[in-house]
């Protein structure tokens, strides 16, 4: 993959597709991890005298009304506090104002363009990788840099579209993501899976269970496996249509798939064989935590996707929290592979070997899917 360090960026207009899709509440950015994650690439370009044009999406934009709550203006203001150079913002995604801003940009200056998904109203020009829009955005710059791993799996105008028309390179964040996920895919690993639904993880299970040393399963998704084993799972979330799939997986890999022994319910801690018809398991219990820790000891590498319980609720945070604190102390690396588990690491203040910035893109990469935009960066 061609890295931005291979390009001569001095005096060039460099378009960088970043992922500034950050959570905003009451007009304030709740978590700026994705913005901070892009700073290495942005600062490199500034230090090498580039004119930096940033493109990003923010939130879901389906109607004109959605535009009012998904402007990147707040992100531009925050970015200006993180970099030592001027940051400008344009409310246009196309037009005279945008073109003037680009043409007036000096070296060592940044222009953040309004939300690329504003181009999805009234027609889905961004999401459908509209040819005309792709050419237009590409025409604003000399070089394109993909530094948004979270959108690398999508062929949008601001990713794949632009890369078709001007020299394209990977930013440092994308390069790090690919290296780390490739490491997790290639090395001996223990797989730790959580989250709500088996449905979302079937691709990952198919691709990684055969090559993993052990597969530890928690979160609500484990109840489909437990029901497949004949346990009464009460009112816990079960994917009925995937019970047969889980049964087959358990039969084929019975020596490596480890399921929880107990859970925290509204009535306290219960072993799985003590569940009644009304019980719901919201977190793994103390026996399971000890069992999982015992199984994880001596791992070569742990790949973790999905929380092990309803960690947002103080009553049910313990399983995910204790497991993170345990893994933080180990000598072997733990890679947090996207989704809610990365948010949990921030809530609990733990430092892992690597925390992926992708959500759906990370899952698809772990499923073994190829990304067209990344392949284009390979030259």
Known catalytic residues?
34, 197, 339, 360
Nearest to 218 by CA among 265, 259, 268, 279: 259
Query: How many Cβ atoms sit within 10 Å of the Cβ of residue 179?
Result: 12
Task: For residue 333, give the DSSP letter.
Answer: -
Interacting residues of 339 by C-beta distance below 8 A, sequence separation 6+: 195, 305, 306, 359, 362, 363
Residue 51: both structure tokens together: 């004119």
Sheet (strand 13-17) strand order: 87-90, 109-113, 51-55, 13-17, 143-146, 168-170
DSSP characters for 247-310?
A: HHHHHHTTTTEE--SEEEETTEEEEGGG--TT----EE-HHHHHHHHHHHTT-S-EEEES-SS-
Residue pair 168/376 in contact (Cβ under 8 Å)? The answer is yes
Dihedrals phi, psi of 180, to nearest 5 degrees: -70, -45
Residue 346, classed as helix, strand or coil, is helix
Q: In 79-205, at which residue ranges do the beta strands (DSSP E only) sit?
A: 87-90, 109-113, 143-146, 168-170, 190-193
Residue 109: both structure tokens together: 């200056």
Place of tokens 């996207």: 338
């Amino acid at each position: 993959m061609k890295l931005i360090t291979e390009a001569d960026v001095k005096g060039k207009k460099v378009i960088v597709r970043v992922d500034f899709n950050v959570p905003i509440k009451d007009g304030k950015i709740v978590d700026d991890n994705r913005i901070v994650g892009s700073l290495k690439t942005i600062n490199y370009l500034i230090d090498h005298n580039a004119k930096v044009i940033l493109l990003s999406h923010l939130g879901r934009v389906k109607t004109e009304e959605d535009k009012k709550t998904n402007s990147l203006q707040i992100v531009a203001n925050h970015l200006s506090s993180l970099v030592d150079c001027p940051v400008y913002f344009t409310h246009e995604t196309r037009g005279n104002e945008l073109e003037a801003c680009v043409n007036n940009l000096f070296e060592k200056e940044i222009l953040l363009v309004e939300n690329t998904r504003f181009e999805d109203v009234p027609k889905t020009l961004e999401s459908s990788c509209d040819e005309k829009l792709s050419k237009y955005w590409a025409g604003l710059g000399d070089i394109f840099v993909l530094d948004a791993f979270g959108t690398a799996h999508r062929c949008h105008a601001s990713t794949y579209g632009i890369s078709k028309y001007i020299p394209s390179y990977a930013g440092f964040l994308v390069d790090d993501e690919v290296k780390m996920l490739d490491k997790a895919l290639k090395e001996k690993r223990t797989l730790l899976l959580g989250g709500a639904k088996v449905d979302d993880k079937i691709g990952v299970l198919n691709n990684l269970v055969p090559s993993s040393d052990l597969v530890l399963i928690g979160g609500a998704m484990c109840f489909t496996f437990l029901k497949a084993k004949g346990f009464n799972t009460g009112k816990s979330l079960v994917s009925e249509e995937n019970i047969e799939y889980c049964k087959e997986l358990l039969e084929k890999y019975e020596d490596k798939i480890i399921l929880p022994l107990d859970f925290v319910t509204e009535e306290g801690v219960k072993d799985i064989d003590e569940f009644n018809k009304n019980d719901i398991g919201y977190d793994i219990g103390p026996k399971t935590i000890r069992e999982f820790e015992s199984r994880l000891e001596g791992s070569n590498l742990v790949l973790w996707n999905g929380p092990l319980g309803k960690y947002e609720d103080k009553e049910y945070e313990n399983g995910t929290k204790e497991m993170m604190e345990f893994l933080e102390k180990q000598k072997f690396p733990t890679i947090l592979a996207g989704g809610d588990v990365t948010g949990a690491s921030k809530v609990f203040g733990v430092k892992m070997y690597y925390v992926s910035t992708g959500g759906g893109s990370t899952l698809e990469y772990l499923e073994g899917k190829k990304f067209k935009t990344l392949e284009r960066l390979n030259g």
